[in-house]
Chain A
Amino acid sequence: MSSLLTIDGLTKHFSEKDSLIRRLRPDQEVRTVRAVDDVSLDVKEGETLGLVGESGCGKSTLARAAVRLIEPTDGSVYFDGDEVTGFSRSELREFRSEVQVVFQDPFASLNPRYTVAKTLMEPMRVHNIGANDTERRERAASLLERCGLGAEHLDRHPHEFSGGQRQRIAIARALSVEPSMLIADEPVSALDVSVQARILNLLDELREEMGLSMLFISHDMSIVRRVCDRVAVMYLGKIAEVAPTDRLFTDPQHPYTQALLSAIPVPDPTVERDRVHLEGDVPTPIDPPSGCRFHPRCPKVIPTEGWDGSQAAWQRVLALKRRLAADELDAETTREHLEDERKSVSDDAVVQELYDEHVARKGVADAETVSLPPDANDTVKSALQRLVAGDRDGAVAMLERSYTTPCAREEPSLTTHGAGTHQSACHLHDPSFVTQSKSQNGELAVDGIASGDAR
């Protein structure tokens, strides 16, 4: 199978909206939203490639930039050997009849003032399909019927249809120019669950009938599993893992993919499964985390050199660091709390209380008590002492100095697993990286993979 659409190093950065107020404050720099950062992917002829990730991870932006509905900042795209990123205006118009997008929201993607006939006939007119309007109307009627709506709907307006029917119209519009590839951008996520399956079936039938290639964007792992031949997982503008669907679901390699998969509800309640819990919110693509962008939430994040505690203990230290940096710990509240309970309110007592609550997590429901290695214990406590003394920045800096994951330093590159069709971007799979950490950490990194933060 040769590659039909090749995306090579595609990057899309947005500058945050320029405004008068911003211009009056030259001290504030324009912040860049790095929505898509150096992504390479290819869609092979006749295949359906899934693109999954949480909302805001840049998957729609990637698709739009790939067909130049928005102009990419950098990188190139090839379609059938031609460089799309170098197309002139007229070449781009030609290209539009090859690759068509089906948009997410059928309530927004149809012009409310157009009849169905007009919606379907306009693209044909642009691409000189059909000799005259009579012929085009006939074609529109048969397309509509193929998509499951009767020709009697041709003269209706979008507001007379349900969401599912509108999406059928949108699909018919995409097919009206006889494309060889579809980009389906969350085509069912705006629809009722009961309608979703029927639209997915329709897409599947049409794909087979017309030999279409497809880039299928979704945040729903179970839909992707049903529809796609291969799947690419995206996190904050980067590809985390690409694999044939079977392999991705049975043998996920990237910790993020593992977390996503563990979140799929299992239909059989008797099946016990480890659920990986993702800490924190999805960071914004403005100033994304350094190194591996997943590191602030990664349950398997590699410990710092010389760490000789467990992965669970390491996670506690990182969590403490995160809360300190976010100013979620308040020594004075804790002190008042102790006073209420008529306990000692000395600085040492406050430190101990903070430690018990946030590190050892004594008495916190559902959390096992974890003990830190002795030297870490000391560092954490002296950091807490600084906090109690009112020096939060110092406390953060102290933890930062001693406990920074190597994952934050370097960006992982894609490594190949097995037959070469399976790739993931995680330092755990980079032999040189792991040996380097391993030499100091014993079997820790591997231990991390095995146990994770399983509950």
Chain B
Amino acid sequence: MAIDTKHSENRSVVDQVGSRVRWLVAVYRRLDLSAQVSFWIVAAISVAAAAAPLITPYAPGEQLAITADPALKLHPPTPANPMGTDLYGRDVFTRLVYGARSSLAVGLLAVGIAATIGITAGSIAGYVGGWVDESIMRVMDILISFPALVLAITLVGALGSETVITILPVLGELLASLPVVGSWTSNNIINVIFVIGLVYSPQIARVTRGEVLRTSEEEFVEAAENTGLSRVRILVQHILPNSMAPVLVQSTFLVATAILFEASLSYLGLGVQPPIPTWGVMISNGQGYLPDSWWWTTFPGLAIMVTVLALNLLGDGLRDEFDPRSATDGGPN
């Protein structure tokens, strides 16, 4: 009997993974065409970013004008350099692919930070209520009432050359353990990620709070209280998992916004510092050479546009799918 049970538990794990995959496929199938296409665009960009060294023979900082041919400065597109080269003889395509890494990493990590702050604050506010709710949401209101860019510039400026890691060593260790990002810990990019995350956390907090309030009214929450489960567990195990769909949708939009935001900061010279290539830095550096060497700025500009558009369309599709007002089941775990 004991062996039987164990066996069925093993099978249940397989079952669970299987049912989750089936559920994801089902969600994908229900998306509209533009969201499906967007999904593949985002997937392609992500794969390209992850596999950057396999896609291009050059390193992002490699100055071809020095290592190969002096004529490769501001050279228009050729089969070998499909997007041309920049002033320093670096391959624009290579920098674009590596830039996708930093752009996506900034987007995902910033949203990760926004989600950590926002979900914590929003769920406590929504579930505890009363003056706790009031004070948390007032702080969020203050954050949201500043124009985001102004707030970010101020914060990045205030941090100066110091990175957040010197202030929050735990966060530093966590980031250092991640691939790609691990080598960035001393770069300003960490500050940019952190500040963007902070600036956008109120949006996640608001959505989370609303959802937590709505889910708290559900009868299964009352049923959980009826079993004697503690309030913390009710929040974490019953309310939050059933409140996350709209937060996920919101996060998709925020990744797009964060990518755009990083580009704006970098364009202003306040964002990511060399040598890390980002699309914003490329546009910023190349703008002075625009009429003649259009490829230096046009390709990163297009990359930003396509990525942001795809993420937004995907978010739209997911929102239609997960809209709490259109009754759908929550899907497996």
Contacts and interface: CB of A to CB of B under 8 A. Distances in A.
Whether A associates with B in a native complex is yes
Given A101-B226, A108-B218, A170-B223, A138 B241 contact: no
A187 to B, nearest CB: 13
A311 interface: no
A123 B227 contact: yes
B329 interface: yes
A113 B242 contact: yes
A18 to B, nearest CB: 12
B238 interface: yes
B219 A157 contact: no
Contacts of A103: 219, 222-223
A400 B21 CA distance: 70
A126 B1 contact: no
A126 B237 CA distance: 13
A97 B228 contact: yes
A96 B227 contact: yes
A97 B238 CA distance: 19
Interface string B275-292: 000000000000000000
Nearest to B1: A138
Interface in B222-253: 222-229, 237-238, 241-242
Nearest to A112: B330
Interface residues of B, number: 29
A127 B229 CA distance: 9
Interface centre among B5, B220, B229, B242 (most CB of A within 10 A): B220
Interface in B253-284: none
15 contacts: A96-B226, A110-B220, A111-B223, A111-B242, A112-B242, A115-B12, A117-B12, A122-B237, A126-B229, A137-B9, A157-B329, A159-B329, A170-B223, A173-B223, A177-B227
A432 interface: no
A88 interface: no
Contact of A69 (B6, B12, B226, B237): B226
Interface in B304-333: 329-333
A113 B5 contact: no
Interface in A151-193: 154-155, 157, 159, 170, 173, 177
A170 B222 CA distance: 13
B134 to A, nearest CB: 13
A38 interface: no
Contacts of A64: 222
A96 B219 contact: no
A113 B241 contact: yes
A127 B8 CA distance: 25
Interface residues of A, number: 36
B223 A110 contact: yes
Given A93-B228, A96-B227, A173-B227, A157 B332 contact: yes
A343 B91 CA distance: 100
A298 interface: no
Contacts of A104: 219
Contact of B227 (A94, A115, A122, A137): A122
B25 interface: no
A54 interface: no
A22 B325 CA distance: 27
A105 interface: yes
Given A97-B228, A134-B5, A137-B5, A109 B223 contact: yes
Nearest to A134: B5
A137 to B, nearest CB: 6
Contact of B226 (A100, A111, A127): A100
Given A134-B6, A155-B12, A113 B333 contact: yes
Interface in A73-125: 92-94, 96-97, 100-101, 103-105, 108-115, 117, 122-123
B167 interface: no
Nearest to A133: B9
Interface string B3-42: 0011011001001100000000000000000000000000
A67 B226 contact: yes
B2 interface: yes
Contacts of B218: 108
Contacts of A155: 8, 12, 15-16
A47 B229 CA distance: 28
